[in-house]
Amino acid sequence: MEINTTANRRLAQWRVTWLIEHSTSHQLLWCFDSLVLRNPPLRQAPNRYKPLKMTRQIYILLAILTVLTTFTVYGQTCVQTGLSRSYDFTTSIKRNKVGQFPDSCIITVTIDDKTSKNQINTFLICTNYLLGDSSFVRCDNVRSYITGKNKNVQVVDNDYGDIIVADFNFDNKEDFAVKREEGGNGGPLYNYYIQTPNATFSLDKYLSETMTFFPKYFNKRKKALTTLVHANAYQLCKTLYKFDTLTNKWTEIGHSFIGGKK
């Protein structure tokens, strides 16, 4: 059985960079320390008034005030109850801005059991490459090959949605993928999370770091995923990945180019 996902277009290379937490405040504290060392208080005559004692607590307060005035966070939260038969997904994104300029993004995904309402997992995805205005803005920009929600919605620029539920490793369990970067002309890059035997989820490093793009074809019989993205202005690159159920490992079988030169 082969699943053909909706037609799409675009291809790019990927990178994953992680947000270094608290770096802004540390740098600000260093800057305040350096500024005071370069500009010590002037001497004053006796019996006049004492100079202000610049303690480290004051430095910290100034740093916090500076961060609050230059570093702002905004985003949106969506609760998805129609993507899975067993789980509810909550996604939220915090778009960081330094002054008027966009900075990094922090995506949080929480998975809850539909029946028990217990929290199963929470994943934090940090990226220094700002997701565009079309990502994690609309709560309906999702897709499920399990329940069929938005399954046949047209795919534009290889963008299958912010979060997609499917069976990626063909074990008849629900897995999911989350958009982590906009990518280039090949479309967005995704993180893939596979359901484990104890009904939790874990990051599949191979799919997330090697395949990265969302697959165009699912072949359950051959246990294979195929991506189809632009290689250049005139050709598409078709890459086949096969899952070995004995070793629980993925292998790239090969790739080919479709289309001719202009």
Q: What is the C-alpha to C-alpha distance for residues 21 and 170, in angstroms, rounded to an integer? A: 37
Residue 187 covered by a domain: yes
Q: What is the C-alpha to C-alpha distance for residues 148 and 146, in angstroms, rounded to an integer? A: 6
Q: Are strands 187-195 and 175-184 parallel, antiparallel or unpaired?
A: antiparallel
Tokens of 184: 């280039």
Q: What is the C-alpha to C-alpha distance for residues 200 and 211, in angstroms, rounded to an integer? A: 22
Does the pLDDT of residue 234 top 90, yes or no?
A: no
Q: Which residue has the higher pLDDT, 21 or 42?
A: 42
Q: Does pTM surpass 0.85? A: no
Residue 151 covered by a domain: yes
> How many domains would you assign to the chain?
1
Tokens of 140: 């309906």
CA dist list (Å): 108 to 81, 95, 157: 16, 12, 24
Do residues 206 and 152 make contact, with C-beta atoms less than 8 angstroms apart? no
Domain that holds residue 118: 2-20+72-258
- pLDDT, one tens digit per residue, over 55-113 is 666 666 666 555 444 445 556 899 999 999 999 999 999 888 777 777 788 999 999 99
Is residue 77 classed as helix, strand or coil in its secondary structure? strand
Tokens of 68: 């609050």
Amino acid at 132: G
Do residues 105 and 93 make contact, with C-beta atoms less than 8 angstroms apart? yes
